Amino acid sequence: MPTHGAARVADFEELVREKTPESLVDYYATGAGDEQTLQDSLKAFQRFRLKPRVLWSKGNIDMTTKLQGQTVSFPLGISPTGFQCAAHPEGEKATAKAAERTEIIMIVSSWAMIPLEAPPAAAPNARLWMQVYPFRDRRNTVDMIRRAERSGYKAIVITVDSPQIGLFTRSWRSGRQINQQLRELKIRGTTSLAFCIFQCRLVNLQGAKDDVARAKASGDEFLFTYGREQTESMATWADIAWIKSITKLPIILKGIMTAESAREAVAAGVQSIIVSAHGGRQLDGIQAPIEALPEVVDSVRGSGLEVYLDGGVRSGRDIFKALAIGAKAVFIGRPVIWGLLHNGKDGIVEILNMLKNEFRNTMSLCGCTGVKDISRAYVRHESQLTCKL
């Protein structure tokens, strides 16, 4: 039995803050701008209320579902989160092992601090998808996708909400830009995070070897020049069509927040979209993903497109609410980092099992015995509620 006293996922952030350097926690916790979207992504779930049905239980609770044809133990996955070796020496390998243990999807970040081949090698039965930016130099995109295919990844997740990097006001106010925070951080002792990031870029951006050679000569500045230039690609739907043409793996777009973009995704022929505000780290002031979800789901109904949600999920009730609105599954990022900081792979497994148990409990109390039973009949936005006396 755990002795740390964490009774909910949110408690783990408090636990790690007690024992982790502030600069490291702040790097993961920081949002863009005034952090309105970051905060609202959490609060918005509370504006949706559950409507349970009684005397409907039909037996054991079945939480399993399929995402892109892969069976998972419950409808939750791990969002792409970079630089995990700063949180724990095992980094993405520990996270992959946790995903393998709990039988859920993990999306491996293209900004992982280890070669993209390492997570599947560490967890050969893990359900892994690879996150890729539409890099400015297409050679990097092709190379990363080919390596993902050879390594057994089952889908390509393209992040589409980053034509530029978000502005981190909190870092400015504290006198430290994000770049400087990265330079200051240490990984379990002597190696600087910036050096490790530099090394990982050399591993995971191998398509344009001439550019990589020039970046190598600039040392730590590689992160802040070449890496940033590649990410800020100003991609268009033509780039999505091109990526789709070079691989047979399912294509998933991460960062869709409007009905218009969702319909364009259907027209582009992709297999899935993730309603996501990038953890509140890109454009501040946009609505919370859970409140963008209804219009997105309604706009693609009947198309066969799988819709997932990322952002603000901190409980099994949140998972249930997202599914009730129409998401096929949800993904989490920061809670995984808190688990990794707390106790490596076992810390992540503890958080995932906590969410799974809460989801099972919510399904039971709402009268659902299978994921397919969950519908909008079980949830209402507070703006729709009335109390008549």
Is 153 annotated in a binding site? The answer is no
Across 177-267, the runs of DSSP E, i.e. the strands, are 186-187, 191-192, 251-256
Contacts for 209-212: CB closer than 8 Å, 24+ residues apart:
211/137
Is 281 annotated in a binding site? The answer is yes
Is 278 annotated in a binding site? The answer is yes
Is 245 annotated in a binding site? The answer is no
Is 81 annotated in a binding site? The answer is yes
Is 31 annotated in a binding site? The answer is no
Is 159 annotated in a binding site? The answer is yes
Helix (H, G, I), strand (E, B) or coil at 262: helix
Is 65 annotated in a binding site? The answer is no
Across the chain, the runs of DSSP E, i.e. the strands, are 48-50, 65-67, 70-72, 76-78, 105-108, 127-132, 156-159, 186-187, 191-192, 251-256, 272-276, 306-310, 329-332, 379-381
Q: What string of DSSP letters covers 51-111? A: ---SS---SS-B--EEETTEEESSSEEE-----GGGT-TTHHHHHHHHHHHHT-EEEEPTT
User: At which residue do the structure tokens 């793996």 appear?
Assistant: 249
- Render the burial of 205-236: b for 16+ CB within 10 Å, e for the rest: bebbeebbeebeeeebebbbebbeebbebebe
Is 311 annotated in a binding site? The answer is yes
Is 131 annotated in a binding site? The answer is yes
Cβ atoms of residues 254 and 131 within 8 Å: yes
Is 133 annotated in a binding site? The answer is yes
Cβ atoms of residues 377 and 51 within 8 Å: yes
Is 174 annotated in a binding site? The answer is no
CA separation for the pair 9, 355 (Å, rounded): 8
CA separation for the pair 156, 162 (Å, rounded): 17
Is 313 annotated in a binding site? The answer is yes
Is 188 annotated in a binding site? The answer is no
CA separation for the pair 219, 206 (Å, rounded): 16
Per-residue tokens: 297: 């789901």
Is 191 annotated in a binding site? The answer is no
User: At which residue do the structure tokens 């892969």 appear?
Assistant: 70
- Choice among 4, 278, 342, 381 that is catalytic: 278
Is 80 annotated in a binding site? The answer is yes
Is 266 annotated in a binding site? The answer is no
Q: Is 278 a catalytic residue?
A: yes
Q: Which residues are annotated as a binding site for glyoxylate?
A: 27, 133, 278, 281
- Catalytic residue annotation: 278
Q: Which residues are annotated as a binding site?
A: 27, 80-82, 109, 131, 133, 159, 254, 276, 278, 281, 310-314, 333-334
Q: Which residues are annotated as a binding site for FMN?
A: 80-82, 109, 131, 159, 254, 276, 310-314, 333-334
